[in-house]
Amino acid sequence: MKRKKGETARNKTVLKLPFGGNWLVVWGGDTERLNAHHSVLNQKYAFDFVIVSDKGKTCKAEGKRNEDYRCFGEKILSPATGVVIEAVDGVRDNKPGSTNIDLLPGNMVVIKHHEGEVSVLAHLKRGSVKVRAGEKVKSGQVVGLCGNSGNSSEPHLHYHLQDKELLREGKGIKCYFRGVKIKGKTKEELTDEISPVKGDIVSSDYEFQPMEKKLR
C-alpha cells in the first residue's frame, strides 16, 4: 500500500485487536482531546484499553485492589505474527491510584512484525509474561496478562505501533485493526478495518481474517 505525499503513516501488517471480549477505548485518536499520548512521538497513535460493565464501570468492587478491576488478569494477545525483541516481567503492579514513573512501560512485550513495524504492549501483570526475546509468536497468541505496572494508575492495556525497535527512538504509526466489532447502544457491527477512537467499545472477530498477510 503506497502512501500519498503528506499522508499519515499506517500499518502494512494485518493487525488484530490484542485481546478477546469487549474493551473500551479510554484513549485513542488523532488529537490531544481524544488521545493523551498524542504529543509523545512514539505514542502518537497509541491506545489505552479497559473492560467496563454495561453501566460503564471499570470496577467490580470499590477499586482499592487491582483484582477489583474487570480487565486485571485478562489475556493479552499478539496482534500479528512476529519476533519478540523485548520482554519485561519483573516490575511490581501498582496499587490503584499510584504510579511508577521510574519504569514507565512496566512489564511489557515488544514484537517486531516487519522492518519498520514494532508492537508495544505495556503495563502487563507481574509474572504473567509468557514469551521471551527471540521467540516467534503467532497472531492471537497469549503473550501475558493485563496488569497495572509502570506509569499506570489503574489496570489497563497500553498498545502502540512504532517504526523502531528502541522505544525512545521510534515514531508512532497509525493502526487499523481487521475484523473489529464495534458495540453501540443499540447495535453491534462488524467492520473490515478500523482505527478506533476514544469511547468506542470494540472486540475482535478472529474468524474474520484467518489468513495473515502483508497488505500491499
The pTM (predicted TM-score) of the whole model is 0.90
Quote the DSSP letter at residue 108: E
Q: What is the pLDDT of residue 2?
A: 45
Domains and CATH numbers, the chain: 25-173 (2.70.70.10)
Average pLDDT over residues 143-164: 98
Q: Are 21 and 146 in contact, with CB atoms under 8 Å apart?
A: no
Average pLDDT over residues 117-140: 98
Q: What is the pLDDT of residue 144?
A: 98
**pLDDT at 40 > cutoff 60:** yes
**pLDDT at 185 > cutoff 80:** no
User: 125: phi > 0 → left, psi -120 to 50 → alpha, else beta; which?
Assistant: beta
Q: What is the pLDDT of residue 186?
A: 59
pLDDT in tens, 71-104: 999 999 999 999 999 999 999 999 999 999 999 9
* pLDDT confidence bin for 54, thresholds 50/70/90: confident
**For residue 115, which amino acid is it?**
E
Q: What is the pLDDT of residue 184?
A: 64
Q: Are 18 and 203 in contact, with CB atoms under 8 Å apart?
A: no
- Cell digits of residue 21: 471480549
Q: What is the pLDDT of residue 122?
A: 98
**For residue 204, which amino acid is it?**
S
Nearest CA among 125, 83, 96 for reference residue 108: 125
Give the torsion through C-alpha atoms of 160, 171, 37, 193, to 10 deg: -40
Q: What is the pLDDT of residue 213?
A: 42
